[in-house]
Each structure stands twice: as structure tokens, then as C-alpha cells.
Amino acid sequence: MIKLIDWTVAYPDGTKALDRLSLSAGRGERTALIGGNGAGKSSLIRSLVGILPGQGTAEIAGLEVRKENLQEIRRRTGVVFQNPDDQLFLPTIRDNVAFGLKNLGMGKEEAEEKVRNILQQFNIPGLADRLAMKLSGGEKRLAALASVMVMEPEVLLLDEPTAFLDPKARRNLIRILKRLPQTMLIATHDLSFAAEVCPRAVLLSRGTLIAEKATEEIDEDLIS
């Protein structure tokens, strides 16, 4: 469902974020993408949806990552970026969460119902009418997750989803993710979170794969 063969990603300044990376994540599986700062996790996620160009072969949601497929890939794939400010661009949380649904042409009442349900699921019904720019980091993160999940994408790419979350919100997120049927690739350095949510993990260091194994077998010392 997600497959990379010799996938290389470089920034305009020449920094190589991924160097001929090959890996695969099965359909319906939740795979953790583990690695220390600068390992290439965020770059991998960005490259899968075409925000960063890559060379080699990459496939996601049944489509090869190339220009002509990007629109469909982005329709089938939900991404929660490392920085929630990147995806809350409308004034209220309600507007942000409803944005994608309305874009699909969904009627107002159906969209409102879905927004209500997802905010309930995330235990944040009270945020609906709050201004996105005035929320805490954790509240923004939950709202960004809700705005992506409400679209029910086939594949979910989550970048450091537990960043800024308090223990209760973190626990709730674990519960939600474990219930979902989607294929997921979750970038994180939160090993205990990864072990609870993702049976399998791929370990990156400096843009290359250094291990692929059961998440609970990953030793913290391996993360660099």
C-alpha cells in the first residue's frame, strides 16, 4: 500500500533527506516510522504527497507518486503535518474541520453532523467555535487530526502526532488510531506510543533504513 524503491529526496540547497530508501507498508497496517531528529521522517511524508520531489519509485494508495497522480493521491491520503499551524488556516475550528467536506460538495447539514461527530470522538466538542490561532499546541494538534480524519482517507500519514499532547489526549489518540481501519505511516520518536499503535516499525537514520522489525523490539539506543 506504501512502497518505496530507491527513493531519494533532496532539498533545493542540496541536503539529501533520503538516500535510495526502500521500504513497504502493507494495506491496512499501521507502521511506525522511527528515527531521531533529522533522520528524514518528515521529508518522507512530504515527498509521498508531492510537497517535496523525489527520485526513484514511490507508491501510495495504489498510485505511483508523480505529478499527474498528485491530485488523486492527496484525495486518498490524509496528512497531519508536524506543525498544526500549517493546516489550520481558517478562523474557527468548525470551519477548518468542515473545509474539506464542503470542498467535496457535501451539504451543510451532513457536513455539520460529521464535524460534530469527529469533535466528539476527539473529546474536543468545546473547541468548535474557538479561534484556531488562540488554541494551545495540543488543542491545535487534535483539531488538525480531526480535520484530516473527518475526510476518512484511505491512507493516513501522521507526523509526530503526539507532540504537544497531554497524557489524556495522548491516550485518547492511541485509542482512536487503534480503532481505525486505515493504512497508516506514523512518524514519531515516541517509542511507547509507536509500540502501542503500530505492530511494525521501520527505523531510519540519516535518510536510510537501518532496521525493520516489530516495534516492541526496537531499542531506544538504536534511534539516532
Give the torsion sign (CA, 83, 89, 94, 100).
negative
Contact in structure between 21 and 8 (CB atoms under 8 Å)? yes
Number of neighbours of residue 76 by Cβ within 10 angstroms: 16
User: Which element (helix H / strand E) includes 35?
Assistant: none
Q: How far is the CB of 181 from Mg ion (least distance, A)?
A: 26
Per-residue DSSP letter, 65:
-
CB of 21 to ligand ADP, least distance (A): 11
Q: Report DSSP letters for 120-150, one per residue.
A: HHTT-GGGTTSBGGGS-HHHHHHHHHHHHHT
CB of 37 to ligand ADP, least distance (A): 5
Determine if 13 is a binding residue for ligand ADP (CB under 6 A).
Answer: yes
Should residue 47 be labelled a site residue for ligand ADP when binding is judged by CB under 6 A?
Answer: no
**Do β-strands 16-25 and 200-205 pair in parallel, antiparallel, or remain unpaired?**
unpaired
Q: Does 161 bind ligand ADP (CB under 6 A)?
A: no
Count of CB atoms within 10 A of residue 95's CB? 17
Report the nearest approach of ligand ADP to the CB of residue 189 (Å).
8
Q: Which is closer to Mg ion, CB of 79 or CB of 127?
A: 79
Residue 35 is a binding residue for ligand ADP (CB under 6 A): yes
Nearest to 81 by CA among 2, 158, 136: 158
Q: What is the DSSP code (8-state) at residue 49?
A: T
Examine residue 91 and tell whether it contacts ligand ADP (CB under 6 A).
Answer: no
Q: Is 40 in the site for ligand ADP (CB under 6 A)?
A: yes
Binding mask of the shown chain, residues 15 to 54, with x at each position contacting Mg ion by CB under 5 A: --------------------------xx------------
In the list 31, 43, 96, 182, the residue contacting ligand ADP (rule: CB under 6 A) is: 43
- Closest CB 13 distance from ligand ADP, rounded Å: 5
Binding site for ligand ADP (CB under 6 A): 11, 13, 15, 17, 35, 37-43
